[in-house]
A and B are shown apart, each in its own frame.
Chain A
Amino acid sequence: MRRRFFGHNFATVYRFEVVRTLKKKSFWAGVLAFPILIAGIFGLTYYAGNQSETASADLVKEKFSIALTDDSNIISPETIEQVGAKTISNRADGIKKVTSGQLDAYFYYPKDLAKNHVEIYAQSVGIFENSRYQAVAQSLLQASTLAQTNAETIAILTNQVNFEVQTFRNGENYNPMMEMIAPGIFLVLFYLIIATFGGQMMNAVVEEKENRVSEIILTTIRARTLIVGKIFAFLTLIVIQMAVVLGFVIAAYLVLKNHLNLPSFDLSQIPLDPARILVSFLIFTSSLMLFSGLLVAIGAAMPTAKEANQFFAIPILLIFAPLYIAPMMITNTTNSAISFITFFPFTAPVPLMLRNAVGNLNVWEVIIGIAILTTTAVTVFIIAARLFQTGAVEYSKKLSLKGLFKRKTA
């Protein structure tokens, strides 16, 4: 039985691309590398922090002979007694006792601590271990000061006072930062996908050329079926990749939340504006289509992945450049430069998504923006298919624009 309709071929390409990628060890290595790396760094930082805390505590506990001279009059006698230190009235004597080996350490606290240094003279016990002297000198100061200060002052001075801000719009509680979260996720997702997977997307069709398969492919299925099938397969793989990473992060959070005192997230506090979320989703989808097409078009014009990668900077520049005027997008929407980048198709995704997230995009701007993105995406797809077909047998050279319009496609 023969099947040769678009749906069959699309499904065949889609399945082939998804299955073969999922079978690759390199795919799973790439997927798991990120959470493992993050977990590794997190674990290492936690371990190092723990070790350092333990070491500091051990150092403070460690007994060694200390003497001090306190011209600042801050160090309390109780604190001096607690660490078993002695007081010396003369600074020169203290230094002499250290140099002669009678004392392990001598601290000199000058009169005005804001202007002068605390001087520490001590026996060297190693590059890292020498830090114990400063730790003790500092803890003497802190303990003495805390004993003389009330808890409120300490909280103020150490930025531990909590604030709760409530703003209102149209008489209702309104938090613009919280409002941005749900629609803003699509912008973050867009950046993440293009920056992380753009290179792979660009190389999606180079493989056919590099492996000299394009002639057989083009005499078997339409170029656009191949391209659409590959892009959808690629997007599916991105979803799988992100789901794995997200699952890993959520599992790690739930397991380690109590052990590491991680902050709690109350997702119910995030406001959900269905209209803005829908607009963001539509802009995100059309932007992703446009940039997928652009990346595939670049790849289709190049004979090898290596040469294609040299042009990866172009789409990256197009999505990152608007960030430089992001504050203007929020505060000055009437500016002509903002209007230009909002409606120029290749820069439009970021301003449209950002402005929608902050809520300063009008309805007509939404309609025009999505229309421009969708139309351009379709055009770019057609060009990408033509590039692939025209450049199919250009195994060793880049396809020029002249070549594209001069020569043929089926």
Chain B
Amino acid sequence: MTTKNIIEVKNFAMRFGNKTVIRDLSFEVHRGETFGFLGSNGSGKTTTLRALLGIYEPTHGELLINNQPYDVAGKTRIGYLPEERGLYKKESVIDTMVYFGQLKGMLRDDAYQFALEYLAKVGLTGYQQMRLDKLSGGQQQKVQLGITIMGDPELLILDEPTKGFDPVNRRLLMDMIADLRKRGATIMMVSHQMDEIERLCDRVLLLKDGAAKEYGTVAAVRKKYDGAHIEEIFIQIYGDTDEIGERFSLNEMKSSDKRNRRKGNK
């Protein structure tokens, strides 16, 4: 039975040794929506995605996709673009794409055809036999994105998809995401491009101190902050922490410097 939520995270907590990364996080991603998952660097966004995809075991709580923990052999078709990007660098573009397409359940010929069409679409016609390490960083990103959307994914999880893209390619990517959404895919994305989040996402979650600081539709979150844009809200939420941190560090340094000078005078 198809449910409203494709993703459900309930009371998720994650600790690495003594370090608590996620304290208590609960949220849902509705089927067919574009969901922005935001937070400052090190706030636990990637950890949450990894736990959702079964790479990490949660310390506490439940992370469900289609009502069950993610299973690679299950029926849910997922496209995941991790933050740590990489491909088999010494292999050709086409071989790599066909390989991943097949692993995602496509027939070899279908995967081959899809790869050719995708490469044409992103301006990489003629590059199919080239080794991946001979491509530029941006071109490799395009290939990786192509692999992510292979196998007609119903859920796309994109961890900073525009990282390393120039504005032209960023626009291309965003158009592609919009297109996938039109075709019914659910998209959960982590990004620091707040304007794009605001433009593409239906709902957002802003993660702070291991829990959801803000969570709701883009309009509702903006309304709460007097119509401010997501970027301004982001700075308002996380900027304070950084400023305090910076002030603390400066004060520490100054007092330490004073102590050293006093010792020197004696």
Contact = CB atoms under 8 A, between A and B. Distances in A.
Nearest to A217: B103
Label chain B's interface by main secondary structure.
loop
B72 A212 contact: no
Contacts, number: 87
Interface in A257-312: none
A9 B103 contact: yes
A129 interface: no
Contacts of B89: 211
A12 B78 contact: no
Interface string B23-58: 000000000000000000000000000100111111
B147 interface: yes
A3 B57 contact: no
Interface string A217-238: 1111110000000000000000
Given A222-B73, A410-B72, A212 B57 contact: no
A220 B95 CA distance: 17
A408 B52 CA distance: 13
Interface stretch (B104-112, B166-174, B229-237): B104-112
Given A1-B110, A211-B86, A211-B88, A409 B72 contact: no
Contact of A20 (B56, B58, B95, B147): B95
B91 interface: yes
Interface string A369-389: 000000000000000000001
B61 interface: no
Interface centre among A4, A5, A8, A217 (most CB of B within 10 A): A4
Given A220-B100, A221-B72, A2 B86 contact: no
Interface in B61-114: 69-73, 77-78, 80, 82, 84-89, 91, 95, 99-100, 102-107, 110
Interface string B130-168: 000000000000000001000100000000000000000
Contact of B86 (A8, A16, A213, A408): A213
Contacts of B77: 2
Q: Which 5 A-B pairs have the closest CB atoms?
A: A408-B57, A212-B86, A410-B54, A2-B105, A215-B82
19 contacts: A1-B106, A2-B106, A3-B107, A8-B102, A8-B105, A9-B103, A19-B95, A207-B88, A213-B87, A213-B88, A218-B55, A219-B53, A219-B70, A219-B72, A219-B78, A222-B72, A392-B55, A395-B84, A407-B57
